[in-house]
A and B are shown apart, each in its own frame.
Chain A
Amino acid sequence: MDAASQAILLQTDQILVKPMDVPSLIAAIKERLAAGAPATRIVESVATILERTTESTIQDWFAHVQNDEAVMAVAMTFDQRTSHLPQVFLDLVHRLRSFKSFGSKELVSPAAAQHGLDRRKQGYSAAMLVEESRILQVSVFHTLQKNLARIDFSILLTEVMTIADEIDSQLAQAMASYISESVGDSLPA
Chain B
Amino acid sequence: MAYESVATILERTSSTTIADWYEHALLDARLMSVSMTREQRCAHLPQLFRDLVFRLRSATIPGTKELFSEDAAEHGIARRRQGYSAAMMVEESRILQVCIFKSLHENLDYIAFPLLLPDVMTIANEVDAQLSRAVACYVAESRNDTSPL
User: Hey, which bits of chain A sit against chain B, CB under 8 A?
Assistant: 1, 4-5, 8, 64, 70, 102-103, 125-127, 130-131, 133-135, 137-138, 141-142, 145, 148, 153, 156-157, 160-161, 164-165, 168-169, 171-172, 175-176, 178-179, 182-183, 188-189
- The answer, among B97, B120, B139, for a CB contact under 8 Å with A157, is B120
Prevailing SS type, chain B contact patch: helix
Interface of A is mostly: helix
Q: A134-B132, A179-B87 are in contact. Are A168 and B143 (CB under 8 A)?
A: no
Q: Which residues of A contact B85 (CB under 8 A)?
A: 179
What's the nearest-Cβ distance from chain B to residue A79, in Å? 24
- Once the chains are docked, how many angstroms separate the CA of A81 from the CA of B102? 34
Taking CB atoms, residues of chain A closer than 8 Å to B116 are 157
Interface residue? B10 (CB, 8 A): no
Provide the bound-state CA to CA distance between A41 and B21, in Å: 40
**A–B pairs, 20, beta carbons within 8 Å:** A4-B115, A4-B117, A5-B114, A8-B113, A64-B63, A134-B128, A137-B128, A141-B62, A153-B113, A157-B108, A157-B117, A161-B105, A164-B101, A165-B94, A168-B128, A169-B94, A178-B87, A179-B87, A179-B148, A189-B149
